[in-house]
Amino acid sequence: MKKFAYLSLGLALACSSPKSDQQSFSAAQRDSLFQGEASSEEEDLTGTDLEKSLQDQGLVDIVQEIPGIQVELKYSTEDNFFKQDVYGDLTRCYLQPLAAEMLANAQKALQEEYPNLSLLVYDGVRPIRVQQILWDGLDKPDSIKPLYVSDPKIGGLHNFGVAVDLTILDLKTRKPLDMGTPFDYFGYPAYPDRELQMLAEKKITKAQVANREILRKVMKGAGFTGIGSEWWHFNAFSRKEAGDKFPLIQ
């Protein structure tokens, strides 16, 4: 059985750099985040052990909570930027209940307007132990590490279980809509903030932007916010809100 501890730098660039429109934690929040923190040593967890740990920390399996939603954890396969499986046997996506409720509203809105479409989720919660391993394994000075991976002493929104990476699936063809780039593509064609420039340079098409707009419409309508550099990433709360409401997921 594959082990959860089999992690690498492959995830370091995936939705882990500092996100826009997020606030820093207060000193009190930072102090409280690591009460009862797990050991920094790698734990030899199976997918079943990890799943139970997520459930024990109050997270929910979105497939059980959201009718019709589709899940394909990209980092539980080799179909990702670094062609490496880093989640082992985990195949179910977990989120905080409030974030899952918001995502359910987005799925409902999408299927009311487009019955042949569904949200397809690529990533949800990322336990802080994963973040720590990525941070420790990054061969960069600490001063510039946050450009590549969120500092585990602060935590990113995936680490709270309130961020989600996703696209839209055509239920008839069983293929994702064309968004102009793959998930985990790092370059301007994936930047929502650069869409006008990329259109002018013919790096993406109007049809691809229209597909992104469908995703943005249902996600923002459900209360999520996007970021400027990844069309697939959405946050249910700001950093400050997440720190006030939730513990980091171990």
Amino acid at 217: K
CATH among 3.40.50.280, 3.20.20.100, 1.10.10.60, 3.30.1380.10 for 9-16+25-245: 3.30.1380.10
Task: Calculate the average pLDDT of the chain.
Answer: 83
Q: Which pLDDT does position 18 carry in this prediction? A: 43
Higher-confidence residue of 79 and 36: namely 79
Identify the band that residue 115 occupies on the pLDDT scale cut at 50, 70 and 90.
Answer: very high
Percent of the chain with pLDDT over 90: 60
Exposed (0-12), middle (13-18) or buried (19+): which is 248, by Cβ within 10 Å? buried
Q: What is the pLDDT of residue 182?
A: 95
Residue 134 reports pLDDT greater than 90: no
Instruction: Output the pLDDT for position 5.
Output: 41
Domain ranges of the chain: 9-16+25-245
Query: Rounded to the nearest 10 degrees, how much is the dihedral formed by the CA atoms of 93, 96, 102, 104?
Result: 40
pLDDT at 53: 94
Q: Give how far the C-alpha of residue 181 lies from the chain's centroid of Cα atoms, to the nearest Å.
A: 17
Among the listed residues 235, 234, 229, 239, the one whose alpha carbon sits nearest the alpha carbon of residue 13: 229
**Active site members:** 230
Determine which of 41-45, 115-119, 189-193 has the lowest per-residue pLDDT on average.
Answer: 41-45
Q: Is the pLDDT of residue 136 over 90?
A: no
51-86 pLDDT, tens digit each: 999 999 999 999 999 999 999 998 787 776 546 677
> b/e string for 111-137 if b means 16 or more Cβ within 10 A?
beeeeebbbbbbbbbbbbbbbbbbbee
| Higher pLDDT among residues 198 and 143, named by residue | 198
* Lowest model confidence (mean pLDDT) among 33-37, 49-53, 83-87: 33-37
146 vs 11, which has greater pLDDT?
Answer: 146
Which of 23-32, 101-110, 135-144, 190-199 comes out lowest in average pLDDT?
A: 23-32
